[in-house]
Amino acid sequence: MKTDLLSRTIDRRQFVFGAAAGAAAFAFLPAPSIFAAAQGADFSTLGYPELKVNITDTGYEGIPDSLPAGRYLLTATTATAVPTDMSPDQSPPAVAFVSPTPAGMSANDFLQLVSGGGGAPPAGATPEMGGTPPAGGDQGEGQQLPLSVYQMKFAGGTMIFPGMTSTQAVIDLTEGEWVAWSDDPTAPITPVVFAVTGAFPADVKDPEADITATLIDFAITMEGNLTAGTHTIKVQHHGAQPHFLDIEKGPDSMTKEEVEASIASQMSGTPAANGMDESAVQPVFYSPTQSIGTVTWHQIDLTAGTFVAACYFPTAGTGVPHAAEGMVDVFKVTG
Ligand SMILES: [Cu+2]
């Protein structure tokens, strides 16, 4: 099993359009107490319309056929707590939203892409579909996506971490055809297609956030009250390509240089001279893929220590994960 940061996150999160799900290699450390404490999500006093989604082993419950455009309080639930001993080929349940409408595609076109449905491979398809291999690394470390994916609108979502039964996020849904899915084509949960109608309201209020994560091509900045405790984090996207935000807690001594060296060694296939102890890196937060101009809000529980924030979405045209292009930040949380 691969244990390094890049591989397990890539295997979990890369968009493997086509047949090859690949050998995912991602496991949570046992009994991470940080997750059990993170039950503080409460955006319910802000007056947003609610979108409640129950995630079963195989599907989503509670998504209506049609919704008016607007800012929603998204609540995702599971019947029982997400296991803390998930097998390496599983990722925690998530619901995320993508609209293929801006790319001139239908929801069914998108579902065909993620399921590797029949027909000729689209331009820029993955090697499995007859496309071009990525410029660096092997096929498990970068996948070229059809360029239409970069024109779709990703609105974010939420992931339920091990030990928990629910999470919340505040997200915006604009007019178009949408797909609720796992932000991960290898997940066993069947996506749901729905419509969003009408103009986005002009008078929506922003939740108050005390931490802001800004995603650009290709960097992440974490600003605000980086102290131990429960916080509201605003995830804003000022880039061009889609980005997601994965935050993991590492050893106190972890540095950005070490993380970058590890990622570079992954991409080149040669061991890093200053290899970090990556078994000590533990996922704490995941904000699903967003597109330019979108903003989402989440609750995040932090403990004192050193964290790495990264995005591994494949770079347009090369398939190289954004993290290998510099989309990595290491930050400290004080007690
Ligand atoms: Cu990115």
What is the Å distance from ligand 1's center to 240 Cα? Answer: 9
Q: Which two tokens stand for residue 233?
A: 């984090």
Question: Is the confidence at residue 54, as pLDDT, over 80?
Answer: yes
**Which tokens in the block code for residue 205?**
């209020």
> 162 or 212: whose pLDDT is higher?
212
Distance 151 CA to ligand 1 centre (A): 14
Residue 166 has pLDDT above 50, yes or no: yes
Chain segment 93-111, per-residue pLDDT in tens: 999 999 999 999 999 999 9
Q: Note whether 322 and 241 are within 8 A (CB).
A: yes
How does pLDDT run across 171-205, given as a tens digit for each residue? 999 999 999 999 988 888 999 999 999 999 999 99
Q: Which of 89, 128, 119 is nearest to 8 (CA)?
A: 89
Q: What distance in angstroms lies between residue 24's CA and the mean position of ligand 1's atoms?
A: 20
Count of other CB atoms within 10 angstroms of residue 131:
20
Report whether pLDDT(3) > 60.
no
Percent pLDDT > 70 in the chain is 76
- Whole-prediction pTM: 0.83
Return the sign of the alpha-carbon dihedral for residues 189, 62, 181, 249. negative
pLDDT of amino acid 34: 42
Alpha carbon of 322 to ligand 1 centroid (Å): 5
Instruction: Give every CB contact of residue 203 below 8 A, 6+ residues apart in sequence.
Output: none
